[in-house]
Amino acid sequence: MNAIQLRLNGKDRRIDGVAPTTMLLDWLRGEGLTGTKEGCAEGDCGACTVAVRRHGKPAAALNACIMPIALAHGAHVTTVEAADHPIKGALVEYHGSQCGFCTPGIVMTIAALPADAPTDRCSLEDALAGNLCRCTGYGPILAAAADAISAAPSPPDAPPEVGSLDMTANGVRFRCPATEDEFAQALAESPDARIIAGATDVGLWMTKHLYEAAEFISIAGVGCLSSIEDDGETLTIGAAVTHADFMAAIHGKAPGVSELMRRFAGPQVRAAGTVCGNIANGSPIGDLPPALIAAGATVEIASATGQRVLPLEDFFIAYGQQDRAAGEYVRALHVPWGGLCAVSCHKVSKRFDSDISAVMAAFNVTLDGGRVSAAGIAFGGMAETPKRASHAEAALLGQPYTPEGVAGAIAALADDFAPLTDLRASAEYRLKVAGNLFIRDAIERGDPAVRTRLAGRAAA
């Protein structure tokens, strides 16, 4: 198909002649649907939230500001104008809106929730973690949400399957293949094309750095890569699996990583962004690489001509350089349940929700008679890539896992890392806090009842 096909507020639309990288938000506003607002244009504030329903999936709240319209191919998009939900009246009744700029986004976040979504305070705060209100205060908004959720009407229709997209407009070619063969062939033909998945990084490059490319190939619509396979030993996470789907798969089973995911961005970003995108972007401060390295994950790299699997830690070669040749893509991650369930995570960031880490630590420590018999420890934010703390791991072996017993490992961190100073933290702070996290992990392991976190203790 050479034009975007989507359903907008219940009406089928065919869109051509528009640059496929036009953000959905800009297109909607150009169509006169100006209820959807632009606050930050970077996925942080939620003013641009719309509900998006894809074939075979429930509706999800997404940020329209960083979503190239081509990624809406095949989706049913509902905007605040068409949302028929009691949250609208409840916000009025509870005085949940003052200037009103955030209100359409808040309406759409709540409208995208199922009627049986939990309405306790903590769940509602998590549900609204991607929506910023600068003037009302959250009390009335949470009260309105608690009142309205259970009266939600049925969700918008699921759209039909529409097949792949290959469109060129305004000098940009954008392909959304529906099968993996099609994707791999497209990438083999155009190895310089930009792979795009949830666009929660790439969308920001576009809005903030005015990034342009002549060709994009989306992996997000490749059906067979959007599922998580579980053989009881290993979880296989395909390249199109979102953070939200990953969270659902590990819920109640992997408490440390679940708690990390709760603090990973906000719901709108988690509904679009992919687990494999968080690896493939090669960022030294991504949250999942340290957690999955410590869990013992491997990464599957594929191309039109074959596949190979390597330990995740070996994928990261240097800043901006990963072990991925032209024409190759990250196909999947394989994560052993044993490691995934054992990992404890420590994310240090300025805000609890929706913030990038200054330091991210993941510990997978096995004890035998109170002493460390095996350790897999990885950090983000401490080097030019996510990296294992191999000197610290060696120093832990045979030691009691106590605040005193980790002293040697803390000292060894200086052999593992020479962190940078940047706007998030100084080098000295990073080294100090990384050491302190060993003490916190040992205390938490020793006595799960001790309160070591302001919120969200990763207890089972």
Binding site for ligand FES (CB under 6 A): 38-41, 43-48, 63, 65, 97-103, 133-136
242-271 residues near ligand FAD, rule: CB under 6 A = 264-265, 269
Cα 262 to Cα 77, 352, 384, 450, 457, distances in angstroms: 25, 10, 25, 21, 11
> CB 354 → ligand FAD: shortest distance, Å?
6
> CB 168 → ligand FES: shortest distance, Å?
27
From the list ligand FAD, ligand FES, none, partner contacted by residue 237 (C-beta under 5 to 8 A by kind): none
From the list ligand FAD, ligand FES, none, partner contacted by residue 204 (C-beta under 5 to 8 A by kind): ligand FAD
Task: Tell me the window of 49-57, 99-107, 191-199, 391-399 that interacts with ligand FAD (CB under 6 A).
Answer: 191-199
356 binds ligand FAD (CB under 6 A): yes
| Beta strands 215-218 and 172-176, pairing class | parallel
Give the nearer residue to ligand FAD in terms of CB position, either 60 or 239. 239
Enclosing H/E stretch for 61: strand 60-63
> Residue 407 is encoded by which pair of tokens?
């002293």
Amino acid at 284: P
Q: Crossing angle of helices 255-262/243-250, nearest 10°? A: 150
Chain centroid to CA 397: 34
Choose among 405, 401, 429: nearest CA to 417.
Answer: 429
DSSP code per residue over 202-225: HHHHHHHH----SEEEE-TT-GGG
> By CB neighbour count within 10 A (0-12 exposed, 13-18 middle, 19+ buried), where does 454 fall?
exposed
The 49-53 sheet, strands edge to edge: 11-15, 4-8, 76-78, 49-53, 60-63
Q: Using CB under 6 A, pick the residue from 199, 235, 249, 382 that binds ligand FAD.
A: 199
From the list ligand FES, ligand FAD, none, partner contacted by residue 97 (C-beta under 5 to 8 A by kind): ligand FES
> CB 269 → ligand FAD: shortest distance, Å?
5
From the list ligand FES, ligand FAD, none, partner contacted by residue 437 (C-beta under 5 to 8 A by kind): none
Q: Using CB under 6 A, pick the residue from 57, 95, 194, 445 that binds ligand FAD.
A: 194
> CB 189 → ligand FES: shortest distance, Å?
33
Q: Using CB under 6 A, pick the residue from 287, 313, 393, 444 that binds ligand FAD.
A: 287
286 binds ligand FAD (CB under 6 A): yes
> CB 275 → ligand FAD: shortest distance, Å?
7
Neighbours of 34 (CB within 10 A): 13
From the list ligand FAD, ligand FES, none, partner contacted by residue 337 (C-beta under 5 to 8 A by kind): none
Separation between Cα atoms, residue 118 and residue 140, nearest integer Å? 17
> CB 41 → ligand FES: shortest distance, Å?
5
Give the nearer residue to ligand FES in terms of CB position, either 41 or 333. 41
33 binds ligand FAD (CB under 6 A): no
197 binds ligand FAD (CB under 6 A): yes
> Residue 157 is encoded by which pair of tokens?
């229709």
Length of the chain: 460
Neighbours of 436 (CB within 10 A): 16
| Backbone CA torsion sign across 116, 60, 300, 290 | negative
Does residue 280 contact residue 288 with C-beta atoms inside 8 Å?
A: no
Separation between Cα atoms, residue 148 and residue 146, nearest integer Å? 6
> CB 281 → ligand FAD: shortest distance, Å?
4
Give the residues lining the site for ligand FAD (CB under 6 A). Answer: 42-44, 194-202, 204, 219, 239, 264-265, 269, 273-274, 276-278, 280-281, 286-287, 329-330, 354, 356
